[in-house]
Amino acid sequence: MALLDKFASTAAIRDQLGADGQDPTDVVIDQIISPTEGLVGGRHTILAGTNNYLGLTFDPACVEAGKKAIEEQGTGTTGSRMANGSFATHTALERDLANFFQLPYGMVFSTGYAANLGTLTALVKTGDTVLLDSHCHASLYDGCQMSGANLFRFRHNDIKSLEKRLQLLGDKTENCLLITEGMYSVLGDTAPLAKIVELKNRYGALLLVDEAHSLGVYGECGRGVAEAEGVLGEVDFVVGTFSKSLGAMGGFCVSPHPELELIRYVSRPFIFTASSSPSIIASTHEALRQLRARPELRETLWRNANHLYEGLKALGLHLGPQVSPVVAVRLGTKEEALSCWNRLLEAGVYTNLMIPPASPGGFSYLRCSVSAAHTPEQLERIISAFADLKTQLL
């Protein structure tokens, strides 16, 4: 039994999470009504924690593309691309993604997590060095740790902290990869990529940027924060996901370096995973077309982001540092956050509960992600629910 004893502490945490009502890690949405509404426990609930930034999950063209792919290509690929071969639709999506980023090389993975693991474990090895922003996602940490490279963190969005580490590395900077995100997922703040690019050029390092949350959100054409900062052409590897703005599942890496094509041969998370099913590839590809053809989606998203941020700010709540489609309300203890999360759910508003150690600075947060599909009325209901919460609990 000793092997299983380790789960006792996990069971205690789970019981604690469920003590105040619903366990936030075990929410079941009985019926999805739209990109922004579902039935939870028989109650109509506004979904304010989906990362469905452009609201494309029910887009008729995306749904039709997925249906057509199932009818024409079947339900799955039943194996990895290296062993079973690629479907033409996989390679077409890779070409279009690279084209969208105005880069020559693109590669598709089965999940966003696999994209980071697959890229990093191939890109850096024992003897190489990684400098990682301290707020980076777990998939970036895991990829670095699995790679065997020396792994150092710098303070979040702190250029001086990054430069200090580059100085300490001395002549090892040519074997150094810098890693940041575009928009960070918990607080919705963005990386100072123009300054980071300046440093990477000065010290001769390479730069990987994870635009998982910023694809479709930032930049004139929706390419992400690197585009918005005017440095997309100087980023060495852009990784991202299909599971947020593109409304499906999967991940990608695009790059100006021809070596990306060689990563296919050495990336175990790519080689030993079944490739994405035809319907996922088809709806993702259609969502990418929608993202490019309908900039008004981004305009609506930002109008909604401003609406929610300003509404919650007017309540005197402590929010993230900048207006963003991720609006995080900072709270105190885990217990307080859990209680607030439950009261919001009872009021018909689903948010994401973020508690340490998954949230930065030892604080707990109720995280909202805004969608272009949210109506002004839904946003007002979210603000109203927070106002009630503030009166009752905060």
Binding-site ranges for another protein (CB under 8 A): 134, 144-145, 148, 150-153, 155, 161, 164-165, 168-169, 356-362
Contact by Cβ (8 Å): 287, 79? no
- The C-alpha angle 227, 228, 232, rounded to 5 degrees, equals 20
Q: Please, what's the b/e burial string for 340-367 (b: 16 or more CB within 10 A of its CB; e: otherwise)?
A: bbbbbbebebbbbbbbeeebbeebbbbb
10 Å Cβ neighbour count for 74? 13
Query: Closest separation between CB of residue 155 and another protein, Å?
Result: 6
Q: How far is the CB of 301 from another protein (least distance, A)?
A: 29
> In whole angstroms, how close is the CB of 8 to another protein at the nearest point?
15
Residue 243 DSSP label: S
Nearer to another protein, 334 or 381 (CB): 334
Does the N-terminal peptide bond of residue 356 adopt cis geometry, omega within 30 degrees of 0? no
- In whole angstroms, how close is the CB of 334 to another protein at the nearest point? 10
Q: How far is the CB of 156 from another protein (least distance, A)?
A: 10
Max CA separation in the chain (angstroms):
61
Closest CB to another protein among residues 128, 286:
128
Give the burial class of 299: count Cβ atoms within 10 A of its Cβ; 0-12 exposed, 13-18 middle, 19 or more buried.
exposed
Q: How far is CA 53 from CA 28, 38, 118, 235, 360, in A?
A: 21, 16, 25, 24, 23
Nearer to another protein, 275 or 359 (CB): 359
CB of 17 to another protein, least distance (A): 15
Name 34's bridge partners: 37
What is the DSSP annotation of 10-77?
A: HHHHHHHHTTTSS-GGG---SEEEETTEEEETTEEEEE--S--TT-GGG-HHHHHHHHHHHHHH-S--
Q: What separation in angstroms does the CA of 164 have from each of 203, 270, 307, 337? A: 11, 35, 39, 36
CB of 151 to another protein, least distance (A): 4
For residues 144 and 235, which CB has a smaller minimum distance to another protein in the complex? 144
The CB-of-359 to another protein minimum distance in angstroms stands at: 8
**What does residue 153 show for φ and ψ, rounded to 5 degrees?**
-105, 150
**Of residues 171 and 377, the one with the C-beta less far from another protein:** 171
- The smaller minimum CB distance to another protein, of residues 6 and 377, is found at 6
For another protein, the closer of residues 92 and 146 by Cβ is 146
User: Measured from the CB of residue 128, what is the shortest distance to another protein in angstroms?
Assistant: 12
Which residues lie closer than 8 Å to 373 by C-beta, 6 or more apart?
34, 35, 36, 52, 54, 55, 58
Q: By C-beta, is 292 or 334 nearer to another protein?
A: 334
Minimum CB distance to another protein smaller for 152 or for 302: 152
